[in-house]
Amino acid sequence: MQDVLNITFAIICYNYGRYLRRAIESCLIQKAPDVETEVLVLDDGSTDETPAICTKYQGRIRTSRSENLGLGATLTRAVQESRGEWVFFLDADDYFAPAKLEAFLPYLRSEFLLVNDRMHFADQKGRLCASITAEGGATSTLAIHRRSARSLLPVENEHYFHILGCSGKKAEVPRACTFHRIHDTNLSKQHSPGVRNAYLASLTHRLADRLESMSSSPPEWFSSKACKSLAWHYRSQAWYYELATALECKLFTRACGRWLRMVTAANRSGKGLKKIHWEMLIKTILMRDDFRR
């Protein structure tokens, strides 16, 4: 007989009360032999019907409410307050397929630290709106080993948890068990040139900084050398986003400088140069006549 495995389904909610019931129900129906589950709703200061809906499920779920602190703080709380050995994240506007836990279970009893699946796309009413599936990696596709993830806290978003997968202990479930709902409030907003990439650059630089600091005293599941290599990899990504910002804003001199920093960091990561690096160089050269110096 196997030991009982404890699982937490952590639902991240901010003003998604209109979708929350479907998310909760999709967690409550997850069953598997020798597994005990809990559903934890983390309400990030919602001002809609979210608290009332959570009250209706009293006794079947746990609720943790805070002031509006943002995604990073809420993901951090999810890891801190979960009781399970594994934590499955779920954005409140998404939902799980009935057999998600069953599909993940073989990987949870192995040596993996991060497991993810693929995504279906659903419309605002939850109906399947495309036969294609997308690669995993988004919040609702992730299951993390909680004790290992605690060494990454605090996090700013779900990308921090992907460090677990970089240890080599990552598994991908070869099917879509998650439904990502497309609706007006989660579609990408239009911004002035460079805003999104500038934000991603700042975020990725901070992730690289975290890895550099971890390298002096790495967690038991990672090595100092791997921390440093991954820090340079994310630093290269950050310079990529800064290069993209310069291209969008038509700043040729800055674009050239960011390209050099990007490829230097890529080489120092040990991963070397990829096709995208040369594509960005060509794009910079071909567009230079239109740039403001």
Q: What is the pLDDT of residues 180-195, one digit of tens each?
A: 988 776 644 445 657 8
- Residue 271 tokens, joined: 């991963």
Q: Are residues 208 and 255 in the same domain?
A: yes
Among 157, 186, 215, identify where a domain stops: 186
Q: 269 versus 291: which is more confidently predicted?
A: 269
Q: What is the mean pLDDT of residues 268-279?
A: 94
Among 186, 203, 234, identify where a domain stops: 186
Q: Are residues 72 and 153 in the same domain?
A: yes
pTM: 0.88
Among 186, 205, 224, identify where a domain stops: 186
Helix (H, G, I), strand (E, B) or coil at 111: coil
Tokens 């806290």 locate to 153
Q: Are residues 50 and 160 in the same domain?
A: yes
Q: Are residues 117 and 249 in the same domain?
A: no
Q: Are residues 69 and 200 in the same domain?
A: no
Q: Are residues 180 and 199 in the same domain?
A: no
Q: What is the pLDDT of residue 132?
A: 58
The residue among 50, 7, 3 whose CA lies nearest residue 31 is 7
- Residue 58 tokens, joined: 């009293």
Q: 126 versus 249: which is more confidently predicted?
A: 249
pLDDT tens for each residue of 12-60? 999 999 999 999 999 999 999 999 999 999 999 999 999 999 999 999 9
Residue 203's contacts (CB-CB under 8 Å, 6 or more residues apart) are 156, 157, 159
Is pLDDT at 148 greater than 50 in this prediction? Answer: yes
Q: Helical H runs in 166-273?
A: 195-214, 224-248, 252-269
102: confidence class by pLDDT, cuts 50, 70, 90: very high
What is the C-alpha separation between 285 and 243, in angstroms, rounded?
A: 13
pLDDT tens for each residue of 162-216? 999 999 999 999 999 999 988 776 644 445 657 889 999 999 999 999 999 999 9
What is the C-alpha separation between 209 and 278, in angstroms, rounded?
A: 26
Q: Are residues 155 and 70 in the same domain?
A: yes
State what percent of residues in the chain have pLDDT above 90.
Answer: 82
The CATH number that applies at residue 98 is 3.90.550.10
CB 139 within 8 A of CB 89: yes
Q: What is the pLDDT of residue 136?
A: 65
Average pLDDT score over the chain? 92
DSSP 163-188: HHHTTT-EEEEEEEEEEEEP-GGGSP
Q: Are residues 165 and 199 in the same domain?
A: no
Q: Are residues 61 and 200 in the same domain?
A: no
CB 236 within 8 A of CB 269: yes
Q: Which domain holds residue 127?
A: 5-186
Q: Are residues 40 and 93 in the same domain?
A: yes
